[in-house]
Structure 1
Amino acid sequence: MKAVAIKEFGGPEGLAVIDIPDPAPARGQVLIASEAIGVGGADVMIRRGALAAYGFRQGHVPGGEVAGTVTSVGDDVDPAWVGRRVWAFTGTGGGYVEQAIASIGEVLPLPATLSAVDAVTLGSSGVVAHFGLTHAHFKSGEAVLVRGAAGSIGIMTVQLAALGGASSVAVTTSSPERGRRLRDLGATHVLDRTGRGGPGDPVGYDVIIDVVAGEEMPSFFDRLNPNGRLVVVGAVGGQPPADFGTGLMAAFQKSMSFATFSAATVTESARRAVRVEQFAAVGRGELRTVVHEILPLEHAVLAHQKMDAGEVFGRIVLIP
């Protein structure tokens, strides 16, 4: 079958379409004929080699989520899964393929109202957004800032904060057009990438959800209200400076908090429950998925070029 692998760490041109043997599900696994594959920020970081210290090697097949139809099951899996439309988390890779393997505990049936494309646009991003806000102890009436709001995680965070009763939802983004689209999704204030706004924009926030990290992250500590919390849920901008904690210590009297969040720290059952509810919420029209573009699997290089260029609003989806 066709797959896309990282032949060389670095730029998108290091990705290559390869042929690999058709997989077979082992005990507790299912085989899925992929209909849609999500392209995420983690895929980009792995491709760049930024996560090589965590064991990722050249030859790795990226991609963490797929949607499609179960075609076979391994031992200890109910055969009734065969023929069902599902969303699946494939782990830290293995998703850029025509046929994907997933553990049954990470497989979720798709409601009839949800397309495969919408499923991979929402599946992982919605969970990170939900638990990122939970990790920040967000509550109704608080002011929220979403840094890097134009990606799929940011878009879901904006919607969930608005639905959760935030007093305001500010966003950082790169253009007025993106700002307009984010307002349509629930943002109340649009700032530039540095967090600068205009008259009438909030000057402080109770919660900042940061999808970017990078060198500029510490400058956002100044935007926190007393007892404010900044939670990093992504690092598409790279690692923050090694001494970033000095900003928190310098503002000791404000009792500010910093944390990171990974969905891997949440139980499988908790992630599953949130996905079930969010999939249903899309069907009810309460949440909206935003697809930037649908591309053939063989065009994964182009997808990553768009990601690197910062052109993406929402999620790019690959189709085998």
Structure 2
Amino acid sequence: MKAVSIQAFGDPDGLVVIDAPDPAPAPGQVLIATEAIGVGGVDAVIRRGTLGGYGFRAGIIPGSEVAGRVTAVGDGVDRAWIGRAVWAFTGVGGGYAELAVAALDDITALPDGLSPVDAVTLGSAAPVAHFALAHGRFAPGESVLVRGAAGSIGVTAVQLAARAGAGRIAVTTSSPERGKRLRQLGATTVLDRSGETGGEFDVILDIVGGAGLPGFLDRLADNGRLVAVGVVGGYPPADFGMSLMRAFQRSRSFATFSLNTVPVPARNAVRADELAAAARGDLLPVVHDVLDLSEAAQAHRRMDAGEVFGRIVLRA
């Protein structure tokens, strides 16, 4: 099969198309002929080598979510899955390929009317956004700020917050055009990156991290909660928690969130619900572009340049 491998960590040129052995499903797994592959921020973080301490080695095939049709099943899996269109989480890698394997617990059948491209645009992003808002104890009527709102998690979080009755939804963005598109998705306040604060917020979802994170802790209202959902901008300063300590009497709080901590049945149920909502037109998958698998390096260059709104999808 054709696949894309990280031959060298660093810039996107380290992503190389290779011929790789066809995988076979182990017991409890399915084999999927991929039709769409999601390109996520975590893929770029892994490619840069930022997470080298987590055991990633040169030669890994990146990518954690695909959509396509099941072509074979391992022992213990009902053969009725063969031929079905599914979304799948492939783990820490293996997605940038023509064939991928996934555990039965990590697949979701696609509803009628939802394309594989739309499935990988929402399959991870929608549950992350849903449970991150819940982790921040968001309640209807509260104000929400989404930092890094132009990515797939951000644009989905804006829609979910609006759907759940947020009193005010602010977003950070880099251009008036992006601001206009985010307003169309439900944002009520658009902030640029020049330091405009937009007041204080009950819940902040931070997908960026990096050196700017402490400044967003300072934007929390009394009892406000900031949930770090990603670190696409790198890790925050080691002393970032001092911002909370200096405002001790305001009872602000900070938390991280990973979908890994959500029980499998719960996250699969939410994913199925959100994919069904997309099929009905109640949730919009925002696709920036669809590129061939061989253009994975180009997809990463565009992410690194900050020009992606929504998600880039690879086509196998």
TM category (shorter chain) comes to over 0.9
1:265 paired with 2:265, answer no
Runs of 4 or more off by more than 3 Å in structure 1?
none
Equivalent residue, structure 2, for 1:154: 154
Partners of 1:213 and 1:7 lie apart in 2 by 27
Matched, 1:6 2:6: yes
Query: Structure 2: how far apart are the matches of 1:166 and 1:223?
Result: 17
Report the counterpart of residue 130 of structure 1 in structure 2: 130
Aligned length: 316
| TM-score normalised according to structure 2 size | 0.99
C-alpha distance after superposition, 1:23-68 (max 9, x if no partner)? 1111001100000000000100000001110111111110010000
Structure 1 stretches lacking a partner, 5+ long? none
Aligned-CA RMSD value: 0.8
> Is the counterpart of residue 284 in structure 1 residue 276 in structure 2?
no
Conserved in 2, the CA contact under 8 Å of 1:172 and 1:195? no
Task: Give the secondary structure class of the aligned counterpart of 1:92.
Answer: coil
Residue 243 of structure 1 pairs with residue 246 of structure 2: no
The one-letter code matched in structure 2 to 1:58 is: A
Instruction: Give, in whole Å, the separation in 2 of the partners of 1:87 and 1:111.
Output: 10
Cα offset, 1:193, TM superposition:
2.2
Partner of 1:183: 183
Partner SS, residue 100 of structure 2: strand
| Shift of residue 22, structure 1, vs aligned partner | 1.0
Deviation, 1:132, is 0.4
Distance between the aligned counterparts of 1:84 and 1:25, measured in 2?
Answer: 16
**Could you give the per-residue CA deviations for residues 163-185 of structure 1, whole angstroms, max 9, x where no partner exists?**
11110000000000000000000
Aligned to 1:229, which of 215, 219, 225?
A: 225
Aligned twin of 1:74 = 74
In structure 2, C-alpha distance between the alignment counterparts of 1:194 and 1:89, rounded to whole Å:
37
Aligned to 2:117: 117
Q: CA deviation at 1:112?
A: 1.2
Equivalent position SS for 1:10: coil
Q: CA deviation at 1:195?
A: 5.0
Whole-Å separation in 2 of the counterparts to 1:171 and 1:193: 10
3-state SS, counterpart of residue 270 of structure 1: helix
C-alpha distance in 2 between matches for 1:18 and 1:221 = 44
1:305 matched to 2:287? The reply is: no
Provide the residue aligned with 1:47 in structure 2.
Answer: 47
**Separation in structure 1 between the aligned mates of residue 63 and residue 263 of structure 2, nearest angstrom:** 21
Asked if structure 2 preserves the Cα contact closer than 8 Å seen for 1:172 and 1:194, the reply is: no
Q: In 1, Cα distance between the equivalents of 2:214 and 2:268?
A: 33
Tell me the amino acid that sits aligned with residue 165 of structure 1.
G
Q: Give the gaps of 5 or more residues in structure 2.
A: none
Deviations 1:133-163 (A, max 9, x none): 0000000010000000000000011001111
Structure 1 equivalent of residue 168 of structure 2: 168
TM-score, scaled to structure 1: 0.98
For 2:58, the equivalent position in structure 1 comes to: 58
Q: Indicate the SS of the match to 1:158.
A: helix
Contact 1:3 1:19 in 2 (8 A): yes
Give the Cα separation in 2 of the matches to 1:126 and 1:257.
24
Contact 1:211–1:234 (8 Å) recurs in 2: yes
Query: Matches of 1:270 and 1:103 in 2, distance apart?
Result: 16
Deviations 1:182-230 (A, max 9, x none): 0000000000125516xxxx41100000000000110111111000000
Asked if structure 2 preserves the Cα contact closer than 8 Å seen for 1:294 and 1:316, the reply is yes
* Structure 2 SS opposite 1:305: helix
Q: Distance in 2 between matches of 1:80 and 1:221?
A: 50
Q: Please name the residue that 1:29 is paired with.
A: 29
Shift of 1:92: 1.1
Q: What percentage of residue pairs aligned between the two structures are identical?
A: 65
